[in-house]
């Protein structure tokens, strides 16, 4: 499958005082034009690091990231800058993403100014149009970030991301800092903009209910690896034990399936990212772990149309089917 964004074998590591931390490990993902790929998993599983690699905020240790068939790392400065305009980001903390001393209009115009697009009067008109598209009154352009509500600040972040007319926006937990009513407003806005502009989203969240609402396909991450890829509908029929555990731990993901009341949630502690288990990384918490899970790394194996899981339960079943 080819797409607007193609990731092949992408790994991201950080050097820290405690040693090397591998946040993303050999991830392969594809996002098509106008598609929303949801990326879900517990905190610390590498979701945000993968998103930052996509927009160029961190450099992959290995692997390739192609945008519209081209690798930004192989291009000259001017061509790389032009290609990077195709991918923008909406951050989790709208207050932290904005300069507290910069007025809202200037913040939205900044990507245009940095890219050298339009004269000042043209940028001012563009800012007014962008604010209208995201539901902000034009008089707010002279406000400072602290004078806006959380939902308004996130709309500013979305307007900034839209300014360069990108083909893909990485949404890194864009509603997790908002209350439920504001979450619904922002999600509706993102979906409306996608319909109008044909934007693709890499939508990162730990909230399965949010992912179910916005995603066309879903990738589930655990300790830096993708353990399941499925359609939004397929998420209701989880294949990997970790996906099943995430669903059981979510109080609102699927009516009638929550196990919060009976405490049937993911067992054990998340292993240290500095000392990750060999083999299948979920085997230390998996109720179905087998001896080979401690030694071998399972590959993503097709289990149904549009669904694949990195689990030996399905690898063995596929082998039995071939033998038959």
DSSP assignments along 134-187, one per residue: TT--GGGGGS-GGGS-HHHHHHHHHHHHHTT--SEEEEESTTTTS-HHHHHHHH
Q: Is 236 helix (H, G, I), strand (E, B) or coil?
A: helix
CB 23 within 8 A of CB 276: no
Is 146 part of a structural domain of the chain? no
Is 141 part of a structural domain of the chain? no
Taking alpha carbons only, the member of 64, 63, 55, 6 closest to residue 33 is: 6
**Which structure tokens are listed for 227?**
């353990």
Instruction: Identify which has the larger pLDDT, 72 or 228.
Output: 228
- pLDDT for the residue 201: 97
Is 148 part of a structural domain of the chain? no
Number of neighbouring beta carbons within 10 Å of residue 74: 10
Integer Cα distance of 107 and 141 in angstroms:
9
- pLDDT for the residue 314: 74
Is 30 part of a structural domain of the chain? yes
Integer Cα distance of 48 and 28 in angstroms:
15
- Express as a percent the part of the chain with pLDDT over 70: 91
Instruction: Identify which has the larger pLDDT, 315 or 285.
Output: 285
CATH of the domain at 192: 3.40.50.300
> How many domains are there within the chain?
1
Integer Cα distance of 170 and 7 in angstroms:
14
Please list, in sequence order, all residues whose beta carbon lies within 8 angstroms of the beta carbon of residue 142, skipping any fewer than 6 positions away.
103, 104, 105
| Residue 258 clears pLDDT 50, i.e. is over it | no
CB 172 within 8 A of CB 43: no
Q: What is the pLDDT of residues 37-95, one digit of tens each?
A: 999 998 889 999 999 999 999 999 999 999 999 998 888 888 888 888 999 999 988 88
Is 138 part of a structural domain of the chain? no
């Amino acid at each position: 499958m080819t797409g607007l964004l193609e990731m092949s074998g992408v790994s991201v590591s950080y050097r820290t005082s405690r040693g090397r931390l591998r946040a993303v490990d050999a991830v392969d993902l594809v996002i098509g034009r106008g598609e929303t790929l949801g990326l879900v998993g517990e905190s610390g599983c590498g979701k945000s690091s993968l998103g930052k690699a996509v927009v160029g905020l961190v450099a992959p240790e290995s692997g390739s990231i192609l945008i519209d068939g081209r690798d930004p790392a192989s291009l000259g400065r001017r061509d790389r800058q032009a290609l990077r305009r195709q991918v923008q980001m909406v951050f989790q903390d709208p207050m932290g993403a904005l300069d507290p001393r910069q007025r809202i209009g200037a913040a939205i115009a900044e990507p245009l100014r940095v890219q050298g697009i339009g004269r000042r009067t043209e940028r001012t008109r563009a800012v007014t149009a962008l604010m209208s598209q995201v539901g902000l009154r034009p008089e707010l352009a002279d406000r400072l970030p602290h004078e806006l509500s959380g939902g308004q600040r996130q709309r500013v972040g979305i307007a900034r991301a839209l300014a360069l007319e990108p083909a893909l926006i990485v949404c890194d937990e864009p509603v997790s800092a908002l209350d439920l009513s504001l979450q619904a407003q922002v999600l509706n806005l993102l979906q409306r903009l996608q319909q109008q502009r044909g934007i693709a989203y890499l939508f990162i969240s730990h909230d399965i209910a949010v992912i179910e609402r916005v995603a066309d396909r879903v990738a589930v991450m655990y300790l830096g690896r993708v353990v399941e890829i499925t359609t939004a509908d397929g998420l209701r029929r989880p294949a990997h034990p970790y996906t099943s555990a995430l669903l059981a731990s979510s109080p609102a993901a699927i009516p009638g399936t929550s196990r919060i009341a009976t405490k049937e949630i993911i067992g054990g502690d998340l292993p240290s990212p500095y000392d990750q288990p060999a083999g299948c990384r979920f085997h230390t918490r998996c109720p179905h772990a087998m001896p080979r899970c401690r030694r071998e790394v399972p590959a993503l194996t097709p289990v149904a149309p549009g669904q694949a899981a990195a689990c030996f339960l399905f690898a063995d079943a596929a082998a039995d089917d071939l033998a038959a």
